[in-house]
Amino acid sequence: MLDWVYERARRSPLLTELVVATDSERILGHCARRGIPSIRTGNHACGSDRIHEVLLRTDGDIYVNIQADEPTVRAEHIECLLGPILAGKGDVTTLKTVLDDAAAQDPNCVKVVTGAGGRALYFSRLPVPYRRDGTRTCPYYKHLGLYAYRRSALERFHRLPPSPLEQAEKLEQLRLLENGIDILVQETPYDTVGVDTEEDLRRAVAFFAAETPRC
């Protein structure tokens, strides 16, 4: 799965450097055997804190967090993610895609609600917004777990203690919202298969089987 993520992410011309950040000896060994650049980190509670450790050892201005359980990531995701930051419109960005009603019931599928200009209002594992009168005029959106940060925003995130909503939902991005830090959410037509369960893994394998040309 790590190989899938790395090979697909490196298709993006917008990334000047791509490394695997991990505290796992097994993953570090795999990266060494495969020639994948890697950085050994300490143990962290969330991916953004791990990326912050990478920040301390590098001199980049923008950092992209691509999680290793997103094997179907595309170069188009990264382009969409980086667009607002490169245009000077925001300091933290992430992605969303339209979600069907059945999938919205899955707590492993994180939902996002946005306001004017794509600013994130809330993220939840529950279906939000709540459709009190049953109307479907307000769609559900799935949050795709990729983030881009300006260096200053990632430094600020790391200085903040874990927030109550973050701890309740187990969603690190809520730390930013609870502290008044905007997250711009870009919409993409391309869903991803985030692998959290055995069923997700089967879906990812089926995705690559369908993508591989047959002789």
The three-class DSSP label of residue 197 is coil
CATH code assigned at 102? 3.90.550.10
182-197 pLDDT, tens digit per residue, is: 999 999 999 988 787 8
Which pLDDT belongs to residue 198? 83
DSSP track, 166-189: HHHHT-TTHHHHHTT---EEEE-S
CA distance 149 to 105: 29
With bands split at pLDDT 50, 70 and 90, how would you rate the model's confidence at 213? low
Residues facing residue 66 across a β-bridge: 146
100-132 pLDDT, tens digit per residue, is: 999 999 998 999 999 989 999 999 999 999 988
In this structure, what are the phi and psi dihedrals at residue 124, rounded to the nearest 5 degrees?
-155, 155
129: exposed, middle or buried (Cβ count in 10 Å: 0-12, 13-18, 19+): middle
pTM: 0.90
57-82 pLDDT, tens digit per residue, is: 999 999 999 988 888 899 999 999 99
Which pLDDT belongs to residue 42? 92
Domain carrying residue 177: 2-211
- The answer, yes or no, to whether residue 211 has pLDDT greater than 60, is yes
Closest CA to 158 of 112, 66, 95, 92: 92
Q: Could you give the number of structural domains in the chain? A: 1
